[in-house]
Amino acid sequence: MAQKKCIHIPENSTPLQEKFINYLMHDGKKNIARNIFKNTLQIISEKDQYPEKVFEKAVENVKPTLEVRAKRIGGAVYQIPVEVKPNRQLALAFRWIIGASRGGKGAPMEKKLAGELMAAANGEGSAMKKKEDTIKMAAANKAFAHYARY
């Protein structure tokens, strides 16, 4: 009879980091995702003294406050700006950071992820551009905000 493997959770891992690891995971390979995240923090620690703070700042910077939702009213489809709920803010931030990291070619995931996190913590990078584009789109469609109540 096969024994169940017990996955060791590091003592210093925060719930935010665990959630990020879950987003990073592919095909249920949590150990691989955890190793990638650990190696990413080590790469960041070579350049910055507090890698956990860099991670938290990056996530905080990438969280969007507004987004647009398509709504069909009278045969026309309007892009209506709406506020983003906190859970969705976190999900979008994780998705954009990981997506930007996976988009790069030629380097190991640890290096790409470390670069993207450090760029996001400094207010630059692909994930930050995605956030700015989303907010610009919401600002451009402010005229349709009155349709949000329908």
pLDDT score at 146: 87
pTM of the model: 0.86
Q: What angle do CA 117, 133, 79 make, to 5 degrees?
A: 135
Is the four-CA dihedral 59, 120, 125, 80 of positive or negative sign?
A: positive
What is the model's pLDDT at position 79?
92
* Contact by Cβ (8 Å): 48, 54: yes
Q: In the block, which residue shows the tokens 């630059």?
A: 124
Cα–Cα distance, 114 to 111 (Å, whole number): 5
Domain ranges in the chain are: 16-149
Residue 11, pLDDT above cutoff 60: no
Q: Of the candidates 75, 57, 59, which has an alpha carbon nearest to the alpha carbon of residue 20?
A: 59
How many Cα atoms are found within 13 Å in the side-chain-facing hemisphere of 91?
5
pLDDT for 150? 63
- Percent of the chain whose pLDDT exceeds 90: 79
Give mean pLDDT, residues 9-14: 63
Which architecture characterizes domain 16-149 according to CATH? Orthogonal Bundle (1.10)
pLDDT of residue 48: 86
User: Which band of pLDDT confidence, cut at 50, 70 and 90, is reported for residue 7?
Assistant: very low
Q: Which pLDDT score is estimated for 6?
A: 42
**Strand locations in 74-126 (E):** 76-83
